[in-house]
Amino acid sequence: MKIISGAQTGVDRAALDAALECGIQAGGWCPQGRLAEDGAIPKKYPVKELAGAGYKERTLKNVIDSDGTMIVYYDCLSGGTEQTLRFCLAQKKPYLLIDAEEVVIQRAASKILSFIEKNRITVLNVAGPRASGEARAYDYTKQVLQQVLKV
């Protein structure tokens, strides 16, 4: 199993932190210059820069390079989170929408495990809002994935 994301603040970093702490392979693509809303993405995150790319291009590359995508959102999809869903649909890649406003951590973990099994996921892309868009996203995602990865 490998977890990938774009290493943006919020959901992306929570996914990478959960994977690294659980001893699971982590990676993904990030924009050129390791760009994130808080500056350069810290070196502890094992993501690769996509030459000449911004957020949109790295999002697409992570969708393409994964077996499926877990998308965390709060109430409604917007911005890059919504773009991720569009890329999943265009690439005909499996995806799982988790409304963190409605789905408790235990239930979300159960849904993700079923999604992984059903779709034979070995590389899971994780996407969702950045920290400035949803302050609760990091903690929620990290707790959910810690439960998933410890199984």
- Please name the residue that has the structure tokens 């993904």: 28
Please name the helix (run of DSSP H) or strand (run of DSSP E) that holds residue 149, with its range, or none: helix 137-149
pLDDT tens digit string along 65-109? 999 999 999 999 999 999 999 999 999 999 999 999 999 999 999
In this prediction, residue 151 carries a pLDDT of 56
Give the span between the Cα atoms of 128 and 135, in whole angstroms. 12
Amino acid, res. 127? A
Q: Which domains does the chain have, with CATH numbers?
A: 2-149 (3.40.50.450)
- For the entire predicted model, the pTM comes to 0.97
Give the separation between CA 96 and CA 38, rounded to whole angstroms. 27
Predicted local distance difference test score (pLDDT) of residue 42: 97
- How confident is residue 6, by pLDDT bands cut at 50, 70 and 90? very high
Query: What does the alpha-carbon distance between residue 19 and residue 35 come to, in Å, rounded to a whole number?
Result: 21
Q: Is 127:81 a contact under the CB 8 Å cutoff?
A: yes
Distance from C-alpha of 30 to C-alpha of 50, rounded to nearest angstrom: 6
What pLDDT is stored for residue 21 in this prediction?
97
Q: How far apart are CA 66 and CA 125, in angstroms?
A: 6
Tell me: the pLDDT tens digits for 25-70? 999 999 999 999 999 999 999 999 999 999 999 999 999 999 999 9
